[in-house]
Amino acid sequence: MTNPNIGISGFASYLPANRVQLSDWCRWTGDQFDKIRSVVGTSFRMRSANENAYTMAATAVLRLIQQYDIDPEQIGFLALGTESSTDNSAGAVIVKGMVNSVLPTLGKSRISRACEVPEFKHACLGGVYALKAATRYLATDGKNRIAIVVCSDIAEYERASSGEPTQGAGAVAMLIETDAKLLTVDLDISGSASAYRGPDFRKPFVRFMGQAEGPFQQPRDFPIFNGKYSTTCYIDEVLAAARDLFSRIATKPSRFMRSMVASFLHRPYQRMAETGLAFTFLLALALGDADDHQELIQYAQGADVDVDSLITELISDTNVYQLVEDGNIGEEIYPLSSRVVKHFRNTSRFSELMTDLGSAQMKEVGNLYTASLPAWMAAGIESALQQQINLTGEQILTIGYGSGDAAEIIPMQFVNGWQKAAQKIDFSTQLENAVDISAQDYEALHDALEHSPTSQHPGVFYIERVGTGNANFDDRGIEYYAYIS
């Protein structure tokens, strides 16, 4: 990268107020809360019937502009990372339009007309791809501008499916500048991986056929997924991206991993993030020297696994899609590593690697798809500030993943004076707006029933109405938005 100071200068978030306590959900469904709490978390958020990915994104972007006193005319790149957008033509320009409709009322100019407005879609990785594109933009033709990346998603699963407790909704906007005020982004040694995985986690349009429209014509975006196979894909792609990163660094992988003050991962639920980090560290040891192998032997012996076979399994290239072609997607391709990971999670080394920064807050939020990783970063950085932890010069590792299947691992470094920008994150305030909803309201929102609850809170965008084509022009399905001052 031509400018090593490009990076993140701020975060702003929006979480819809509707909260489902997983203890309540377990009472409604008969599930065991102790198990759900240890694997998934404690609660998740739901959008109201008159909210969607665009309204949440616009609210987060407007908050970012206000919290960091951004000059909208300097914004040359506004990118939307999402897998919940509902228009196959427009994307981030919808967000720009909403924000521009309000900025003059706040005494600010509108976002520059000369602003790029791309949308990035690759499951939960779209936001990371948008972040990389923003840094590349600022390093080339956008040197005198600033960029905003907003990640906005609605994670919803069919009722009685294994994914149902891992739902969520929300948006996180990030300010990207050539002179980062929080974190520099080191793309020079970032790791990438991608491979086609077939039915890992998909959203084919055929799902929408015959759906009831609901009061605001919002389709139910329940994915096609295969739980065990999807977990295998996640692990395999994170390992592939880690191998790419480790091949580009000047130090041995285990030392690199230990040098990180914290690691933040895409987290559809708590346990998957833990598993991804554990596998990454075991790979670092497998690729290391004799001392690393000696440490790996301890973990292997604790799980009664042969270390040579473990190393071979970790470093070997795989063809996960072969499981689909063979008709056996439930087969375990990392059986030895999985056993060792289960043991490793109970060691002091893993406790050192797995940061507590922001973790408790994320257990309350649920799955935010593209926004999960930046939300955890925002919560973690704010937590560090509140605990008066000095992170100046420290590095973090960010691991993004998108089903389908791709992963990105990007190191970032805290800059001098990061605390000033961190004071404006205000993520904790978002946790305070929660309103616990009833089983009846949960079912109505989930199934898009006519009596689904709507919301109108100050400082938030909403869908006001949906075009029907009855005017003197065709606006069928086009949403019109309102902002509550």
pLDDT tens column, 43-80? 999 999 999 999 999 999 999 999 999 999 999 999 99
Q: Say what percent of the chain tops pLDDT 90.
A: 88
The answer to whether 174 touches 138, Cβ cutoff 8 Å, is no
Dist. CA 137–CA 472, nearest whole Å: 41
Give the chain's domain count.
Answer: 1
Q: Give CA angle at 476 (471, 481), nearest 5°.
A: 85
Please say whether the beta carbons of 174 and 400 come within 8 A.
no
Paired with 386 in beta bridges are none
> Tokens 């996180």 belong to which residue?
172
C-alpha–C-alpha distance, residues 25 and 43, integer Å: 9
* DSSP strand pairing (435-436 vs 18-21): parallel
243 pLDDT above the threshold of 50: yes
Residue type, 240: A
What's the pLDDT at 227? 85
> How many CA atoms lie within 13 Å of 437's alpha carbon, on the beta-carbon side?
24
How many angstroms separate the CA atoms of 371 and 142, rounded?
A: 24
More confident residue, 1 or 77: 77
Q: Cβ distance 180 to 135 under 8 Å?
A: no
* Boundaries of domain holding 123: 7-185+418-483
Residue 103 falls inside a structural domain: yes
Q: Which tokens is 127 given?
A: 């936001």
pLDDT for residue 143: 85
Domain assignment of residue 380, yes or no: no
Q: Name the pairing type of β-strands 183-185 and 7-14.
A: antiparallel
Average pLDDT on 14-23 reads: 98
Confidence of residue 377 (pLDDT cuts 50, 70, 90): very high
How far apart are the C-alpha atoms of 240 and 318, rounded to whole Å? 9
Q: Is residue 337 part of a domain?
A: no
Q: Is residue 50 part of a domain?
A: yes
Residue 265 lies in a domain: no
Answer yes or no: is pLDDT of 89 > 90: yes
**How far is 264 from 357, CA to CA, in rounded Å?**
9
Radius of gyration in angstroms for the set of CA atoms belonging to the chain, rounded to a whole number: 22
CB 401 within 8 A of CB 122: no
Q: Is 313 helix (H, G, I), strand (E, B) or coil?
A: helix
Q: Is the pLDDT of residue 234 over 90?
A: yes
Domain presence at residue 308: no
pLDDT digits (tens, 9 = 90+) for 309-349: 999 999 998 999 999 999 999 899 999 999 999 999 999 99
Instruction: Tell me the average pLDDT across 461-470.
Output: 92
pLDDT(393) > 70: yes
Residue 54: count other Cβ atoms within 10 Å of its Cβ.
29
Q: Are strands 168-177 and 395-402 parallel, antiparallel or unpaired?
A: unpaired
Q: Which two tokens stand for residue 65?
A: 């502009």
- 134 domain residue, yes or no: yes
- Phi, psi dihedrals of residue 79, rounded to the nearest 5°: -110, 140
- Number of helices (H) and strands (E) in the chain: give both, helices first: 18, 17
AA letter at 349: R
**pLDDT for residue 223:** 87
Mean pLDDT for 185-196 is 95
Confidence of residue 211 (pLDDT cuts 50, 70, 90): low
Name the residue among 164, 147, 146, 145 with its Cα closest to residue 156: 164
Residues 290-302 have a mean pLDDT of 98
Read off the amino acid at residue 19: R
The set of residues, in sequence order, having a beta carbon less than 8 Å from that of 470 and lying 6+ positions away, is none
Which pLDDT does position 1 carry in this prediction? 43
Structure confidence at residue 42 (pLDDT): 97
**pLDDT of 2:** 55
Residue 219 pLDDT > 80: no
The domain that holds 72 is classified in CATH as: 3.40.47.10
Q: Is residue 357 part of a domain?
A: no
Q: What CA–CA distance (Å, rounded) separates 66 from 281? A: 40
Please list, in sequence order, all residues whose beta carbon lies within 8 angstroms of the beta carbon of residue 355, skipping any fewer than 6 positions away: 261, 262, 263, 264, 380
Distance, CA of 187 to CA of 133 (rounded, Å) = 11
Rounded CA separation 160/388 (Å): 43
Long-range contacts formed by 294-297: CB under 8 A, 24+ apart:
295/254, 295/349
Q: Looking at the predicted structure, is the pLDDT value of residue 389 above 80?
A: yes
370: tokens are 């593209």
Q: Considering the chain, what percentage of its residues have pLDDT values greater than 70? A: 98
Q: Decide if pLDDT at 269 tops 90.
A: no
Average confidence (pLDDT) over 361-370? 96
